[in-house]
Amino acid sequence: MTATPTATAKQQPMQPVPALQAALAAEHTAVYGYGIAGALLTGGDRAAALADWRTHEQARDTLEAMIVKLGATPVAASPAYALPFTVNDARSARRLAAALEDGVTQAYLGLVAVSDTTLRTFGALAMQPPANRAAEWRGSTVAFPGMGALVPHGGLPAPHSPWAPHIPPAWHAGQLIRAGGPR
């Protein structure tokens, strides 16, 4: 699944807690997904999956602490998640790992839309490790990590301004893997 522009340019700014919760949900998904992917991998790939799994556990704990600090209750992990495709061998496990990292990258991109500049920077920096891991698992880089596809255009030039930016809608985190039972 790719990111979808679910709002218009006139929407309210992204709020910190929902954006953090979306990132936490993506980390929960990654922790679950690496459990499946790692079981199907061997050698260096298995070691990499284990390291990545631990990294996502740490990121999950960091996000939970941030959400608690803001006075909210962190979203809980689901008991199981529906995978986006059948995962039954090493090749599909590597593909799943890349998809998990894409989902996390996309979720952190949602944090970049909040107005708090500290959280923006946190989200932008947090995108880079999963984008790198996705490239490692995929074997290639992408032009717009976290965006899935090119940015939509939706803005209009401001009156009386010789140069104006197109302001597209903000991108929201979409869940790559839905909570629910495995397929």
Partner 1 sequence: MLAASTTTLPLFLALSACAGPNPLAGPPPLSSDVRGLFDAVTDEQNLIWIYKRTMASYSAVAPALGALLAEHEAHLAQLRAMIVEPPGKTIPSTVTRKPAVPGTAATAVAQLRAAEQSATTAQLRRLARAAAPLAQLYASIAASEATHVSALTALAARSPGR
Which residues of the shown chain bind partner 1 in the complex (CB under 8 A)? 9, 13-14, 105, 109, 112-115, 117, 120-121, 123-125, 127-128, 131-132, 135-136, 140-147, 150-151, 153, 155-158, 160-171
**Residues 6 or more apart from 161 whose CB is under 8 A from it?**
none
Instruction: Work out how close the CB of 140 gets to partner 1 at its nearest, in angstroms, rounded to a whole number.
Output: 7
Closer CB to partner 1, residue 157 or residue 180? 157
Q: What is the distance between the terminal CA atoms of the chain, rounded to a whole angstrom?
A: 16
Instruction: Work out how close the CB of 67 gets to partner 1 at its nearest, in angstroms, rounded to a whole number.
Output: 20
Closer CB to partner 1, residue 38 or residue 110? 110
Q: How far apart are CA 55 and CA 100, in angstroms?
A: 13
Instruction: Work out how close the CB of 118 gets to partner 1 at its nearest, in angstroms, rounded to a whole number.
Output: 9
Closer CB to partner 1, residue 87 or residue 176? 176
Instruction: Work out how close the CB of 164 gets to partner 1 at its nearest, in angstroms, rounded to a whole number.
Output: 4
DSSP state of 123: H
Closer CB to partner 1, residue 168 or residue 174? 168
Q: How far apart are CA 105 and CA 148, in angstroms?
A: 10
The CA angle 141-142-145, to the nearest 5 degrees, is: 115
Three-state secondary structure call for residue 120: helix
